[in-house]
Amino acid sequence: MDIFNNILYGFQVVLEPVNLGFCFVGVFFGTLVGVLPGLGPAAAIVLLLPATFKLSPIPAIIMLAGIYYGGMYGGSTTSILVNIPGEAASVVTCLDGYEMARKGRAGAALGISAIGSFFAGTISIIILSIAAPALATIALKFGPPEFFSLILMGLIILTYMARGSLIKALIMALLGLFLSQIGMDTVSGRYRFTLGMLRLSDGIDIVPMVMGLFGIAEILSNLEKDAKREVIKTKFKELFPNLDEWRRSVGAIVRGTFVGFILGVIPGGGAIISSFISYGVEKRVSKHPEKFGTGMIEGVAGPESANNAATGGCFVPLLSLGIPANVMMALFYAALLIHGIQPSPFLISQRPDLFWGVICSMYIGNIMLLILNLPLIPLWVQILKVPYKTLFPLIFLFCVIGSYTINNSVFEVFVMIFFGILGYLFKKLGYEPAPLVMAFVMGTMMEKAFRRSLSMSDGSFLIFLNRPISAVCIGFALLLLVTSFIFYYKYYGKKRESLIDG
C-alpha cells in the first residue's frame, strides 16, 4: 500500500497554506489565460516563471502546473461563447460548442466541458501517480546510450507530429540543437559560437527565447488582425446538461480521457493534437456523423476531456524519465532546472515531496477549477470583454519585466526581441517553433549522453544498436523518418496538412 502512503504524504505537502495558495493562484491564472484569446498557456508559464524565482521549488511548480491544466478549462469558455479558441487545444470545441451556444445550449456546453475536464483530469492524475513511479524504476537502469536514443526518438516523433512541412520541422529541430550548443562546452571548457559576446558564454537563456517565440510573436501577429469579438448572451441558470445530453456525453468523456492520456505521453502529442483526434473519434463512432458541426454535445465533451487528460499524460515522461514530451513540458523541464532540480529517473526517489506534492496539487486544483468554472462563468465572460488594445501593452510589459529580471540585464530583453521577430517571421513562413524549443531544451542533455556513450564504447557507434532499448528507439526513429519521407513525397504536403486538420 505504498502508493496510498505516498498520496497521503503528497496531500500533507499540498495542504500547507503556501502550497494551497499557489495552487489557487496557478489555476486562477490558468483559467484567465485560457479565457483570453491571444495568450496561450505556454506564454503564460514563461511570463510567470521569473516571478517564481524567489519561491521554493514546490509552490513554484505547483503554480505553473496549475496554469497549464487551468488553461485547458478556460479555453473552452471562449470557444463556446465567442467562437474564438482561448487557446489552441480548444480549437475544435468551437465547431460544436459555438453552435450549441447559438441554439441556446451554452450553459450545457460549458457545463459538460467543465465536468468532462474534471473527470478526465482526475483519471489522468490517478494513472500518472501509478505509471510514473513504475516507469522511473525501469528507467533507473538506463545508461547514456538509452537516453540519447530516447531523446532522438522523441525529437523525431515530435517533428513528425508537427503541422505543415516535414522538412521545415526538421530544420527547426536542427536549429534548436544548434542554439543549445551556443555557450561554453561543459566538457572542454571552450566557448562555442559566442561571436565574442561575453553574455553568450552561458548560452542562450530559455526564458527570453520562449517569451519571444510565443509571447512577442503572438502579440505581433494579433496586431495584424482586426479582433472583433461578439460574446453570445446567455443566461447561466442552466449549467447542467439535460438527461439526453448526459447520456450522449458519458461515452465521449471516457473515450476522450483515454485518447488524451495516451497522446499526452507520446512525444509531440499533448493537449492540442489529442483534442483533434478525440473529435475525429467521436465523429467516427457516432451514428450521426453528418450532424457534427451543428451543435453535437459529443463534439464538446470528447475533445475537452481529451485535452485535460493529455495534461496529466504528458507529465509521465517528464517526471519519470526526465524527458519532456512537448513544448509545455520542455518549459517545466527548464523551470525545474532553474529551481535547481535536474529532471531524471531519480526525481521521484530524491524529491518525493516535490513529486507527490505536485501530483496531489492537481487533484485539488481540479476541484478548485470545477468551482471556478461552473458558478463563476459570468465573471470570466466579463473578462472576455476586455479589449485587446488594453491587453497587449500589458503583455509586452510583462515580457520585458520577465526577461529583464532573469539576470537584471537588458541583454536578455534584446534576446527576447530577437526571438520575437524571428518567431513572427516563422509564423508567416510556415515554420513551427515547437521542434526548435524542444531540441533546444534537450540539446545539452543529448550531447552529454552522446559523448558519454562514445566514451563508454571506445568510439564505436554500435553501442546505440547493441543495447536493446536503444536499438528499438533508433530503429523506430529511422523507420518513422523514412516512411514519412516516402509518404511526404508521394502525397505532397497539402494532403498531409488536411489529414492532421481533419
Partner 1 sequence: MRKYNLITGIIWLVLAILIFFESLNLGLGTLYFPGPGFLPVLTSIFLGIFSILLILESMIKKGKKEESVVIWVPEIRWKKILFSLSFLIIYALSLEKLGYLLSTFLFMLFLFKFIEPQKWSVAVFGSIVAVLLSYIVFGVLLQSQLPVGVIGKIFHL
The residues that touch partner 1, with contacts defined as CB under 8 A, are 50-51, 54, 165, 167-168, 170-171, 174-175, 177-178, 181, 185, 187-188, 190, 192-193, 216, 219-220, 223-224, 388-390, 392-394, 396-398, 400-401, 404-405, 408, 410, 413-414, 417, 420-421, 424, 428-431, 447, 450-451, 454-455, 458-461
Contacts made by residues 124-128, CB under 8 angstroms, sequence distance 24+: 124/257, 124/260, 124/261, 124/264, 124/308, 124/309, 124/310, 124/311, 124/312, 124/313, 125/312, 125/359, 125/362, 125/363, 125/366, 127/261, 127/312, 127/313, 128/312, 128/313, 128/315, 128/316, 128/319, 128/359
Nearest-angstrom CA–CA distance, 201 and 195? 10
Strand partners, 184: 191
Cβ closest to partner 1, residue 137 vs residue 483: 483
Q: Which amino acid is at 477?
A: A
Shortest spacing between CB 410 and partner 1, in angstroms: 5
Indicate the angle between helix axes 271-285 and 243-265, nearest 10 degrees: 130
Cβ closest to partner 1, residue 138 vs residue 456: 456
Cβ closest to partner 1, residue 289 vs residue 387: 387
Handedness of CA 16, 328, 402, 202 (dihedral sign): positive
Cβ closest to partner 1, residue 284 vs residue 494: 494
Cβ closest to partner 1, residue 430 vs residue 475: 430
Contacts made by residues 10-17, CB under 8 angstroms, sequence distance 24+: 10/355, 10/356, 10/357, 10/359, 10/360, 10/361, 11/360, 13/58, 13/353, 13/356, 13/357, 13/360, 14/62, 14/357, 14/360, 14/361, 14/364
Nearest-angstrom CA–CA distance, 337 and 341? 5
Shortest spacing between CB 445 and partner 1, in angstroms: 12
Shortest spacing between CB 227 and partner 1, in angstroms: 10
Shortest spacing between CB 414 and partner 1, in angstroms: 6
Shortest spacing between CB 398 and partner 1, in angstroms: 8
Give SS3 for 409.
coil
Q: Which amino acid is at 425?
A: L
Cβ closest to partner 1, residue 183 vs residue 241: 183
Shortest spacing between CB 216 and partner 1, in angstroms: 8
Cβ closest to partner 1, residue 2 vs residue 458: 458
Cβ closest to partner 1, residue 142 vs residue 431: 431
Number of H helices, E strands in the chain: 24, 2
- Alpha-carbon distances, residue 256 vs 34, 133, 171, 296, 426 (angstroms): 20, 24, 33, 15, 32
Shortest spacing between CB 173 and partner 1, in angstroms: 9
Cβ closest to partner 1, residue 113 vs residue 149: 149
Shortest spacing between CB 424 and partner 1, in angstroms: 8
Shortest spacing between CB 346 and partner 1, in angstroms: 25
